Homo-oligomer: A and B are copies of this chain.
Amino acid sequence: MSFDERKKSRVTLLDVARHANVSRATASLVLRKSPLVGSETRSRVEQAMRDLGYVYNIGAARLRVERSQIIGAIVPNLTNPFFAELLSGIEEVIGETGKVVLLANSGDKVERQATLLQRMREHGVDGVILCPAADTPPALSEEIADWGMPVVQVLRHISFDMDYVGADYAAGMRQAVDYLASLGHEKIAFAAHGPVQSAYQERVDGFRDAMLSKALDPGILIHFPAQLGEIASATHLLFDQATRPTAVICFNHLVALGLSAGLHDCGLTIGRDLSLIGFDDVADEEAIRPKLTSVSTGPVTIGEMAARLLLERIANPDLPPRRVVNDTALHVRESCGRPM
């Protein structure tokens, strides 16, 4: 069928709306399965679609007109600069399409996340990039599928039935452990932080596997508090262990920043008295002295990848679910030395 033929034969949403005696906006809400439309109106519009032979997934031509031009992004914690960098990657890609990104903070709370998803759904956002809150039930992916709302999971996953973009956290842990082992460290601690979710589990498991592969004891796992100031004042936890570590791998940027300050307060020189490796390598780490050796997970790149996957998912809802995992890289600077 040529473009012209298709054009002539195509029943538009406006035709449906007129037939059902509703506004085009209302017909569009029915298409998007919006809960804002009452059941009587919904039935009338659906009947009109059947009467006129309106094809729901008519492809690009339809997509051009049905969109709200808004992409939602939901993250668990805006005060971690990691998420600001992730967002800049998302905006870089989405900005080229004329759409805008609206960001919301779930505070890592499942109920708040549910409200945000509901609000975005009511407003017919084109799609959502979601870093799922800790304790999100995997069944959320089925609910989202029922809604027909395109969603890409980022950094954390609850189900591989939805697209996912993250980093190879386990490989990052291996790079950190291998580097420290090459300097002669055997007593390496993992400084953890935050609630359990997939990215947490993959880092902890990655640390354990990397240590075991070097025949080292993976038992020094210390959990640090959530707030930056509290991390610094909990630095002594590193020295309260049965085995005193000579090197520490941090869960993320916040832990590295807190321990960097806390070790200074203990009168220790990082890189000489204790080796420290960061994780994430966000721009703020540039201001840590001594300069921090860190595993880069590439938040900007992950944001770009997630945005591209979401645009593809919007254009082609029938694609099978995909998993994209960004490579990590160890950036060696000044915070590690040989064990004393």
Contacts and interface: CB of A to CB of B under 8 A. Distances in A.
Given A78-B88, A100-B115, A123 B258 contact: no
Contacts of A87: 78, 105
Nearest to A258: B287
Contacts of A81: 79, 81, 284
A109 to B, nearest CB: 10
A101 interface: yes
Nearest to A119: B100
Interface residues of A, number: 49
A91 interface: yes
A104 B101 contact: yes
Interface string A55-80: 00000000000001110100000110
A104 B102 contact: yes
Main secondary structure of the interface of A (DSSP, over half): helix
A229 B229 CA distance: 23
A79 B228 contact: no
Contact of A286 (B23, B84, B123, B261): B261
Given A88-B105, A265-B289, A284-B284, 12 more contacts: A23-B25, A23-B26, A25-B25, A68-B123, A70-B119, A79-B81, A91-B107, A100-B116, A227-B283, A232-B286, A232-B287, A261-B286
Candidate in A25, A227, A265, A288 with the most chain B CB atoms within 10 angstroms: A25
Contacts of A258: 287
Contacts of A22: 23
A222 interface: no
Nearest to A70: B119
